Amino acid sequence: MSANVRTDSSRLSKLDQAVFKVESALNLMAGVMIFALVCLAVAHVLSRKILNVPLPGFVDWVEQFMAIFAFLGLAYVHRLGGHIRMDMMVGRLKGRTLWGVEFASTIVMLLLVTALFYGTYFHFDRSFDFNAPLWSRDSSIDIAIPLWPAKLVVTVSLGLLWLRLVLQLWAYGRALKENVESPIAVPLILDAAQQAALEAEAMGAAK
């Protein structure tokens, strides 16, 4: 999937690849959490079917799992250009015009993520009262699962996304200055033929 992100031996590329390793690890963790949630759902269904007793706090655990795996892969997907984009419009642009638009949109995203990071950290800090015992802090309704771990995951994920956006801002700024055709450390827009070739290559590798 990362074939549309160019790399080289520059400092920017090395930072990009180092951050991508962290993003990949968190994305893998998100996949493990999804698998754990599936196993929990199976156990819940079997418990209700066989024993006629639902798992206690099932809804509470689902809420925690969803908050975690929904955010852990944010930066990973953004690095690969997997989020919904207006490629039909941006794909018509070339050269400095394209990199200028990408630079401006990245600034907007960076400002938004900065505000979200501040807000989520505030909620985490409010949830985690350092002066209170662990069991008496902000918790779920049914079985009193502490909420601060899930809130901390959201804050950390947004912080990593913030770092990714800073790297992309650096890359787009350099591309705008040097007017390069294919900058490093950013997802390049692929046409239909290139996307089909990458999908075919991925399917071949999976076999």
In angstroms, how far apart are the furthest CA atoms of the chain? 68
- Helix, strand, or coil (residue 6): strand
Q: Residue 133: its pLDDT value, please?
A: 61
Count structural domains, the chain: 1
- On whether residue 143 sits in a domain, the answer given is yes
Long-range contacts of range 40-47, CB-CB < 8 Å, 24 or more positions apart? 40/65
- On whether residue 201 sits in a domain, the answer given is no
As a whole number of angstroms, the distance between CA 31 and CA 151 comes to: 18
- On whether residue 177 sits in a domain, the answer given is yes
Q: Where does the pLDDT of residue 130 fall: very low under 50, low under 70, confident under 90, or very high at 90 and above?
A: low
As a whole number, mean pLDDT of residues 115-126 equals: 91
- On whether residue 130 sits in a domain, the answer given is yes
| Paired strand residues for 127 | none
Range(s) of the domain holding residue 35: 10-83+92-189
Q: Is the pLDDT score of 84 beyond 90?
A: no
- On whether residue 196 sits in a domain, the answer given is no
- On whether residue 54 sits in a domain, the answer given is yes
Dihedral (CA of 50, 54, 56, 59) sign: positive
Q: Is the pLDDT score of 101 beyond 80?
A: yes
Nearest to 75 by CA among 40, 34, 25: 25
Counting Cα atoms < 13 Å in the Cβ hemisphere of 154 gives: 22
Q: Residue 1: its pLDDT value, please?
A: 40
Q: Model's pTM, two decimal places?
A: 0.85
Q: Is the pLDDT score of 135 beyond 60?
A: no
As a whole number of angstroms, the distance between CA 25 and CA 73 comes to: 9
- On whether residue 203 sits in a domain, the answer given is no
- On whether residue 198 sits in a domain, the answer given is no
